[in-house]
């Protein structure tokens, strides 16, 4: 629970599509929906309800409300939502057939899409409303209805109502004892009189409103910006209507291990987080030199530390805010004073709060220690590795697989480093052993049998197929005399360790995760 109040899931009366996000013409379009089949009425035109100020649509002299009768020369009456999306997205310049309704003829308007503007299509049930999104806690706490959203262009917006306001009454009936459904029912009256207090200015004003087509009233979840307003105005929202113990116990109940959020309980969520990070820690301990994973793990630890620290701060700040409102603590109360007050209180479920704060503190400390360990080890490892790499000759570069030479695809580079059988497939066969090495050739008939000399301390039998991974540096030529007495010269490669090959790769990439 990030805040003192309980959130609700979004319940919409409309489906919304944002087309070509951040590249559009700046209009909001609505189309009626069949309430039974949840499909658009194809015989209805598209209604332009709102136009963004300064948008391409406004500059094209389109004014709301008006109707779109065609898109790119095709009537909208028989287009599905998918086809409408395809039509608008298919061209950078959208050709719209526009009419103001009545006896006004259709006019063609070309509108160029631009970055920073959206094209929004909403499919609405055939309903009337004043365009308000409202919220009320589902807990036992009493509170007025909170206005969380006001649709632009709606009767409410035109009258001057804005989000983050409290609706104190509807047609003379207080909203304190109304739930959201009851309030929505009250807002269905054709003529409405509502009293609203703006939480920013504290101004109280009565509004007389009339419902309009294509605007809904809906139960809407609160967003972070709404949470902040609620927290800052808890004295206006909760304190006048609820006792201190009830407010705090309601908040603490949501921290019970068995409290279910969506499909998982708190305890299941906590266990999943702990298990995820423990598996990552075990992988780190088993392969400490994997710097890419170490960085991934380190970043994950930092994310958890930040999230847990924010959760802890939110929890303490919320309870502190409530205690200040009820006159139990001064404005400059410390975190420790907040926690001690709760520990010494008579609130029956206070242990849920104390245990949750302890849980956050515990894992902030554990993950901080682990992050420090990973960083110290990894940065030291990379510093040492960087020092070793400076000792390598600067000339070496990776140049692919050794089999390419036997196939006649390429010739070696003077400073090339090569690999063999990285995927464990044997294409190379030992032709002959020589002092300090072997002569090899292609095993597959698909390759040109061009022999190579490999200098190695390993022992191989004649005709053996080499399947192990090996790494080499180009080392010039190997000269020998054939059985017929003819002199011959072939390319020579000297085996190196995988660590040396990896060091060459690292030096070539210059990539480090923990040092510059």
Which position has the token pair 């008939």?
445
Angstrom distance (rounded) from CA 136 to CA 170: 15
Count CA within 13 A, CB hemisphere, residue 161.
30
Do residues 431 and 439 lie in contact, with contact meaning Cβ atoms separated by under 8 Å?
A: yes
Buried b (16+ CB within 10 A) or exposed e, 335-351: eeebbebbeebebeebe
Q: What is the pLDDT of residue 226?
A: 62
Q: What is the pLDDT of residue 154?
A: 84
Q: What is the pLDDT of residue 10?
A: 22
Q: What is the pLDDT of residue 178?
A: 87
Strand partners, 478: 490
Q: Using CA atoms in the order 390, 393, 395, 399, what is the torsion angle rounded to 10 degrees? A: -90
Selection from 361, 378, 365 nearest residue 301 by Cα: 365
Q: What is the pLDDT of residue 123?
A: 64
Count CA within 13 A, CB hemisphere, residue 308.
22
Q: What is the pLDDT of residue 445?
A: 59
Q: What is the pLDDT of residue 502?
A: 81
Series of mean pLDDT values for 10-residue runs along the chain (516 residues): 26 38 75 47 68 89 87 82 78 88 83 82 70 81 87 86 91 89 86 90 91 76 63 70 89 92 90 95 94 94 95 90 89 96 96 97 97 96 79 74 77 89 71 92 68 93 89 92 85 91 75 83
CA-to-CA dists, residue 446 to 402, 406, 428, 443, 462, angstroms: 15, 10, 12, 9, 21
Stated length of the chain: 516
Report field, pTM of the whole predicted structure over 0.85: no
487-496 vs 437-442, strand pairing mode? unpaired
């Amino acid at each position: 629970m990030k805040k003192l109040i309980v959130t609700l899931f979004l319940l919409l009366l409309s489906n919304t599509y944002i087309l070509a996000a951040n590249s559009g013409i700046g209009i909001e379009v609505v189309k009626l929906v069949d309430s039974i089949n949840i499909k658009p009425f194809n015989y209805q035109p598209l209604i332009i309800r709102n136009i963004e100020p300064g948008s391409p649509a406004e500059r094209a002299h389109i004014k709301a409300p008006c109707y779109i009768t065609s898109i790119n020369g095709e009537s909208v009456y028989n287009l599905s939502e998918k086809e409408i999306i395809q039509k608008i997205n298919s061209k950078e310049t959208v050709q719209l057939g526009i009419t103001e309704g009545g006896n006004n003829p259709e006019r063609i308007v070309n509108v160029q899409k631009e970055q920073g503007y959206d094209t929004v299509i909403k499919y609405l049930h055939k309903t009337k409303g004043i365009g308000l999104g409202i919220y009320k806690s589902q807990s036992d706490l009493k509170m007025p209805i909170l206005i969380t959203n006001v649709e632009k262009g709606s009767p409410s917006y035109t009258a001057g109502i804005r989000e983050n306001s409290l609706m104190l009454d509807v047609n003379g009936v207080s909203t304190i004892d109304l739930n959201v459904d009851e309030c929505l029912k009250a807002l269905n009256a054709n003529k409405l009189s509502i009293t609203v207090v703006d939480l920013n200015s504290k101004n109280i004003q009565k509004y007389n409103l009339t419902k309009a087509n294509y605007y809904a009233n809906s139960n809407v979840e609160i967003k972070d910006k709404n949470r902040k307003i609620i927290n800052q105005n808890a004295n206006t929202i909760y304190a006048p209507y609820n006792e201190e113990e009830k407010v705090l116990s309601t908040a603490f109940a949501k921290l019970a291990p068995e409290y279910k959020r969506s499909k998982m309980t708190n305890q299941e969520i906590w266990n999943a987080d702990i298990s995820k990070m423990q598996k990552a820690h075990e992988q780190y301990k088993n392969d400490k030199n994997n710097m890419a994973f170490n960085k991934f793990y380190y970043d994950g630890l930092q994310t958890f530390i930040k999230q847990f620290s924010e959760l802890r701060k939110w929890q303490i700040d919320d309870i502190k805010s409530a205690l200040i409102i009820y006159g139990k603590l001064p404005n400059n109360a410390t975190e420790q004073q907040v926690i001690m007050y709760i520990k010494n209180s008579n609130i029956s479920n206070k242990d849920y709060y104390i245990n949750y704060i302890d849980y956050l503190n515990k894992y902030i400390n554990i993950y901080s220690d682990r992050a420090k360990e990973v960083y110290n080890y990894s940065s030291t490892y990379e510093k040492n590795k960087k020092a070793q790499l400076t000792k390598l000759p600067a000339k070496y570069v990776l140049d692919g697989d050794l089999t390419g030479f036997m196939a006649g695809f390429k010739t070696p580079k003077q400073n090339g480093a090569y690999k063999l059988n990285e995927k464990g497939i044997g294409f190379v066969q030992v032709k002959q052993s020589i002092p300090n090495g072997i002569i090899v050739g292609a095993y597959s008939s698909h390759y040109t049998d061009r022999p190579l000399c490999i200098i190695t301390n390993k022992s191989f039998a004649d005709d053996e197929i080499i399947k192990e991974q090996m790494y080499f540096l180009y080392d010039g030529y190997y000269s020998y005399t054939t059985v017929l007495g003819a002199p011959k010269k072939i390319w020579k490669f000297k085996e190196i360790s995988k660590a040396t090959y990896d060091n060459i790769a690292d030096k070539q990439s210059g990539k480090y995760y923990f040092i510059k």
